[in-house]
Amino acid sequence: MQSNHQNNLCDKCEQESAQKKRVYVDMDNVLVDFPSGLANVSDELKKAYEGHIDEIPGLFSKMTPVPGAIEAIHKLKEKYDLFILSTAPWNNPSAWSDKLLWVKRYLPEVFYKRIIITHRKDLCIGDYLIDDRGKNGTSEFTGEWIHFGSDKFPDWEAVLNYLM
């Protein structure tokens, strides 16, 4: 049972969160450098999973952050209500847990209990979605899609310049 003080703190957090615009951030090739994970996988394993490398067990836990991503998220956190909105390969159950472990390693204080894994990003309601691909509902997202890696948003510096 929560004390009145804890309830007041929770209410305050919810009010502050409701006042900020909501930003969803994709993981693969936005926060997480997908090729960096492949660099840590044997050639034999790559060959065994040729054509579906995203199904390599443990692959998603081997990835490092995209340059500038961690710093940018900490800046955005001050102004926006942030959530991870990512897709995990259906035939790679370890990817789901690997993504959580990645967040716990690199951004635990920002995305604690703020991770959504879905193949229908268009069902989430928010103001912005930072994503590198128009798949899994991204191009149908009702807020603004910030197309990471595009000419307009080639990197995190461009995203920050736009959002801040």
Residues tagged active-site = 26, 28
Q: Tell me the C-alpha distance between 112 and 107, whole Å.
A: 8
Residues linked to residue 32 through DSSP beta bridges, in sequence order: 28, 65
Residues linked to residue 9 through DSSP beta bridges, in sequence order: none
27 contact partners, CB below 8 Å, separation of at least 6: 84, 86, 99, 102
In Å, how far from its chain's centre is CA 155?
15
Q: Encoding tokens for residue 134? A: 């128009």
